[in-house]
Structure 1
């Protein structure tokens, strides 16, 4: 049943007609419960509010798979503007981005030039940037770009997905770069030739990756809403004398709010992933696909007054 549910929402995430409807009627379908606003400036008061609660942020301008060079340049400037806004408002926030929004599927030199422009500004203003991971066909390109930039820009992170068979090897390959990594389960529809298909396998591999990266001495962002993963991380860190400043928990805006605050009270660092923009539909469907419990949240959000 869970596999059917995941496949159903992943199918819906690629439905262009529903995507257009969502952009038009977003607020009526609970978009304001999961998205910080249509622009980054709209999200600033919310970020300040979350910062005041002790939460740190990472923001992401929604949208991917850009096919126009002009659009890729526009998305690049949006990232730069977000970095400047974080600095000017003194927000405790990082920036996440997708390479397909910067021209990965157009030309390698285009996405490279756009990333360097972003990282130059991020380095100047001391803002951390994380390259999000997309589907498995783009994993190697993403990691190659990350490694090519990391030595020049230490404030650069990326993502490893536990549902991919290759992730253990990728983690070891990245170790010499002293990586800042966000470890996630993964939210794209992947064939069994490259990815685990059973939730239990994905969960166990995520635990393995958490142990591996922490024992390698690298900063680790554990991005999960699952209590079992959170409790595993806390226990493993205690048993292995890993300090709380070597890792953080990451959760999505609007989900498990009380858990986020409880973790802060326990002395853990918590970062909230806050997307903004109008292109929220595909993002939301993938969140429903990766965790069926999110469906109840969605229904509540839609009908909330």
Structure 2
């Protein structure tokens, strides 16, 4: 899940640092970093992630669990990722059975999957490899009674990602797709994916995309998000509104009310560690509220995108490093 873009003037430099092996070593070995990681990541291990999921479900919120990792160029590592998801799904199946439902008859538990972690970038055969491994994860999810959403990544893999989603939906029509509002193409993608039963998570976007393919100004991104949201709400699918922005949350409720969408026909989504009180308020008001919960040791890229998105996250990180938090 990706959220507010371009609100941090240092964002380009931070995202460049995310690609630097030298900065990665510095950040990942600094003891204060752990304090920021713990704010946004549900631990390094599967048991830690399951414990967080169980707590969120008990509070009336649903969950989407993501095993962190992307840009896998090692076939053996891609197989390890599939094995981790199988273990995660088995654990979530047990959590789901113990937790009271918060979404009526729909799964309150899902996993989010990045296709580059499954081998999408492994040359010409990458899309086939990623599809086969995503199918294995979806079959395991079926057994566990858990949904799967295929996450968005940078624009260079968007076509392959959406094609794989279409292929997965042949056997698993509940598979979710993620669209990023800052891409120029996303309005048309929303129209294409707004059909009956189609679950679509709409987020703003957090990758450092060029002006040739994406809006760079925050106001333009916000306006694109509004246009895309209207398309999804007017369609026949199931919008998953991934935003922490109070204006977008209010607009969602207004548009859904105008379209006659009851609270069981859309959901709000937010990131673990961000706006916890607002998450609880929405859940308490009878809204479907799902929390995106990442876990695992490959947290560096995810953490840097969170820092890049919001100046408050950067301030929190600096205070932690200086020992002032």
- Counterpart in the other structure of 2:197: 178
Cα gap change, 1:124 to 1:266, in 2 (>3 Å): same
Partner of 1:70: 76
Q: Is the Cα contact below 8 Å between 2:195 and 2:237 reproduced in 1?
A: no
Show CA shifts across 1:218-276 (max 9, x none): 11111111111111111222233221111111111111111111111221111111100
Mapping for residues 99-248 of structure 1, pairs under 5 Å: 99-106=115-122, 107-176=126-195, 178-248=197-267
Contact 1:23–1:280 (CA under 8 A) maintained in structure 2:
no
1:127 touches 1:155 (CA, 8 Å); kept in 2?
no
Is 1:42–2:61 an aligned residue pair?
A: no
Q: Contact conserved, 1:183 with 1:222, CA < 8 A, in 2? A: yes
Moved more, 138-147 or 32-41: 32-41
Change (3 A) 1:276 1:151: same
Deviation at 1:295, TM superposition (A): 2.9
In structure 2, the CA distance between the partners of 1:146 and 1:215, relative to structure 1 (3 Å rule), is same
CA deviation string 1:55-112 (max 9, x = no partner): 1111111110000100001001111111111002326421001000000011222112
Count of residues in correspondence between the two structures? 305
Number of the residue aligned with 2:25: 20
Q: TM-score, normalised by structure 2?
A: 0.88
Cα RMSD of the aligned pairs, angstroms, is: 2.0
Asked if the contact 1:87/1:125 (under 8 Å) is kept, the reply is yes
Residues 1:244 and 1:84: Cα distance change in structure 2 (over 3 Å): same
For the Cα contact (< 8 Å) 2:7–2:309, is it kept in 1?
A: no
Q: Distance in 2 between matches of 1:278 and 1:304?
A: 26
Does the C-alpha gap of structure 1 residues 283 and 187 become closer, same or farther in structure 2, counting only changes over 3 Å?
same
Q: TM-score, normalised by structure 1?
A: 0.93
